Structure 1
Amino acid sequence: MKVLHVITGLAAGGAEQQLRTMLPHLAARCEVAVLTGAGAVAEAVEAEGIPVHRLGMRGNLDLRAVGRLTRLMRAGRYDVVHTHLYRACVYGRVAARLAGVPAIVATEHSIGEGRIEGRRAGAGVRALYRATESMGGVTVAVSRIVADRLAGWGVPRSRIEVIPNGLDGQAFRHDPRLGGRARARLGIAPGAFVVGGVGRMEAGKRFDVLLRALPGFVEAVLLLAGEGSARRELEELARTLGVAHRVVFTGESMDVPALLSAMDVLVSPSQEETFGLAVIEGLASGLPVFYAACPALDELPPDAAPGARRILPDPDHLRTELRTLAATGPLRLPPPRAVAYYDIRRHAARTEALYERLLGRTAPVSGRHARQKEFR
């Protein structure tokens, strides 16, 4: 089986990292087409021997991308085209239909009530989404909340398959040596209490809550891993609050496991999560995790992640919780059952089974009911 994955960009974001993590676990021969800037993830994918085709798309209305994609798909004679993120889904599904690709799959990673991938989703955006969605075979939702929102946008339930994100839990296991080296590289003292945040530096991630919790909590250092349009505002806020000397911005990083090993607690203050992969990664590293929203945990039994605690995205509340945790000293926990449940191998197997089904090689299986029975 030959599969072409089409994605908008390949910077170090959640959907991009999810694709990179999944590729080595698929038995199919995979290639990747990236519409816009490539970034660090593209280099990592290529380093694993997977071809990456750069389309050089210039803006949302560069319709030439459809022609480029169509020619690539015809020349590659792919069995499956699998698209990721809004722009790639719109352009990729049209091109796959024009190229006569037998099976077309899309994964919806980030859709909110009125936003998609952090941007406002007006009537025009939704109409275009529905029109191109009908050109594919199945739309994969990474959580039930995403499936519900897709249905709310008018996507028929019969065309939605829930396949949750996955991770390689072993790759995120706590390594004190890696953590120590990361602290030394970033100028963080060995004994400092390190509060961490991982994700795109965008307003919806609410990393400002972490910054506002620092005043009056002088024992803490804040380590923020990620890049995005809100970074300058966050840096300015740190200076305004007088805590800039205790905040470390790593920028785009491919070494998240080492950064997690350098932390004492991971905090995810975003209330707009559609899965919450950073929370699961933190749990895999044995960290206590504070989170405002995590659909991945909401869909599991309450005891699946004893190291995770839901918090209010409020600086005063967070400061109190962090002080209480810091008073107990460094704490590392065994990875909970939630980590094993979201193993990337399970994700890849279900994705490949979906390909086979769309190609008419296997019988359909109800994804939602299967998930309810799988957790032990």
Structure 2
Amino acid sequence: MRVLHVNAGLESGGGLTHIINLLRQAQRQDQDFTLLCLAEGPVAQAARQAKLNVQVLGINSRYALTSLRQLVNFINEGNYDIVHTHGARANLFLSLIKRRISAVWCVTVHSDPYLDFAGRGILGKLFTKANLHALKKADCIFAVTQNFAQLLIKKAQLPAAKIHVIYNGIFFHNDDEIPAKYDHEHFNIVNVARAEKVKGQELLLKALKQLDNANVHLYIAGDGSQLASLKELTQKLSLGPQVTFQGFMTQKQLKNLYRRMNLAVLTSYSESFPLVLLEASDNLLPLLSTNVGDIEMMIPDQKHGFVAQIGDVASITAALKAAIATPPKQLVQMAQTEKSYVASNFSLEKQLTAIMQVYQTLIERDS
């Protein structure tokens, strides 16, 4: 089975991690997977660093529809059985050439398609409409949460039969491979997320203000369009001494940062199945998240972490207070309990096996 994964190539967050990790797992299992990036960028760079089979088509504009013939030729001449797209631009391009290729077309929906272009005015609405139209043409859709699957079925009116829920996974390390924690005097919390409105960092800053505890320090790791306004809000709330903006960090830098953290926090308005929380758990950090996506699958009860209500500063503040009040040894036990649970249920091996089973069914149906 020959499989081609296609992405615009400009991802820099969870989408990039998802694609690279999935192809790394496929490589481990000797599967014939190729990654095609429409343009040079972070995804191709990460793929090369991981020594994956990656090609770049060189389409540098989302409007370069004259390059569609290149994409058709690449797919047909490569004799691919499956083409698997990630992201709105790749979805649009495949929807326009679907009748000209012989491969079965699958899509992974990584995020809420109704929010992907939120705040971009008329152009954003057009992109949203184009992406939803593209999804309707796909042979198969992988939704990374049950919530997204129901959204696609009920709101976008896609056939339930072609939607498959497969949760994200990561590579988990043995505990003895995790660097030892640093001693530190403060209660340190880390938020790893793009600085965008959907990630809700302004809620976290307001909750930190309500907490009124100078011993709590927040580290925000991520870059994005809201970074300047978040820094401005930090100063407005007089939280400067308690908040550190780390900017974009590599996985190696994050692992070092995790060594002096007490809690990983995500206060998003919307998420899929957040890889950043799985990665924090792998590094033996207890978790706190708003009730996004299928988070109850990741944090099933109070023994596994803390859950706050979406968009609710008071609820986030209460969850933070509960975490801070938890004895350190109990937090350590919580982190170990959570890691054991997620490593058993959300590994990349399980994720790839489930995807391959769907691929095989589609090929047999199409033959």
**Structure 2 CA distance, aligned partners of 1:361 and 1:125?**
32
How many residue pairs align between the two structures?
350
SS at match of 1:227: coil
TM superposition shift of 1:104: 1.2
SS at match of 1:170: coil
Per the alignment, residue 247 of structure 2 pairs with: 251
Per the alignment, residue 340 of structure 1 pairs with: 344
Q: Is 2:166 the counterpart of 1:169?
A: no
**Structure 2 CA distance, aligned partners of 1:68 and 1:229?**
33
Per the alignment, residue 14 of structure 1 pairs with: 14
Q: Is 2:226 the counterpart of 1:230?
A: yes
Per the alignment, residue 159 of structure 1 pairs with: 162
Q: Percent identity?
A: 25
Per the alignment, residue 295 of structure 1 pairs with: 293
TM superposition shift of 1:262: 3.2
**Structure 2 CA distance, aligned partners of 1:119 and 1:357?**
39
Q: Is 2:249 the counterpart of 1:220?
A: no
Which has the larger displacement, 314-323 or 148-157? 314-323
Which has the larger displacement, 270-279 or 191-200? 270-279
**Structure 2 CA distance, aligned partners of 1:176 and 1:128?**
45
Per the alignment, residue 362 of structure 2 pairs with: 358
Per the alignment, residue 271 of structure 2 pairs with: 273
Cα shift readout 1:66-112 (whole Å, capped 9, x = no counterpart): 233223223433222110111111113434542x2322111111115
Structure 2 unpaired stretches of 5+: none
TM-score with structure 2 setting the length: 0.83
Cα shift readout 1:328-361 (whole Å, capped 9, x = no counterpart): 4543221242342111110011111222222118
- Any conservation in 1 of the 2:39–2:59 contact (CA below 8 Å)? yes
Relative distance call for 1:297 and 1:212 in structure 2 (3 A) is closer
SS at match of 2:189: strand
TM superposition shift of 1:170: 1.9
- Any conservation in 1 of the 2:3–2:83 contact (CA below 8 Å)? yes
Per the alignment, residue 30 of structure 1 pairs with: 33
Cα shift readout 1:292-313 (whole Å, capped 9, x = no counterpart): 123333347944x722221134
TM superposition shift of 1:320: 4.4
- Any conservation in 2 of the 1:196–1:263 contact (CA below 8 Å)? yes
**Structure 1 CA distance, aligned partners of 2:111 and 2:175?**
23
SS at match of 2:364: coil
Q: Is 2:235 the counterpart of 1:211?
A: no
**Structure 2 CA distance, aligned partners of 1:241 and 1:37?**
40
Alignment of 1:1-376 (within 5 A): 1-26=1-26, 27-36=30-39, 38-39=41-42, 41-95=43-97, 97-98=99-100, 100-111=101-112, 114-116=114-116, 118=118, 124-125=126-127, 127-151=129-153, 152-170=155-173, 175-177=178-180, 180=182, 190-215=184-209, 216-255=212-251, 256-299=254-297, 302-303=300-301, 306-312=303-309, 313-328=311-326, 330=328, 331-332=331-332, 333-334=335-336, 335-360=339-364
- Any conservation in 1 of the 2:270–2:293 contact (CA below 8 Å)? no
Structure 1 unpaired stretches of 5+: 181-188, 364-376
**Structure 1 CA distance, aligned partners of 2:235 and 2:176?**
34
After superposition, the CA RMSD in angstroms is 3.0
**Structure 2 CA distance, aligned partners of 1:259 and 1:269?**
19
The one-letter amino acid paired with 1:31 is T
**Structure 1 CA distance, aligned partners of 2:176 and 2:202?**
28
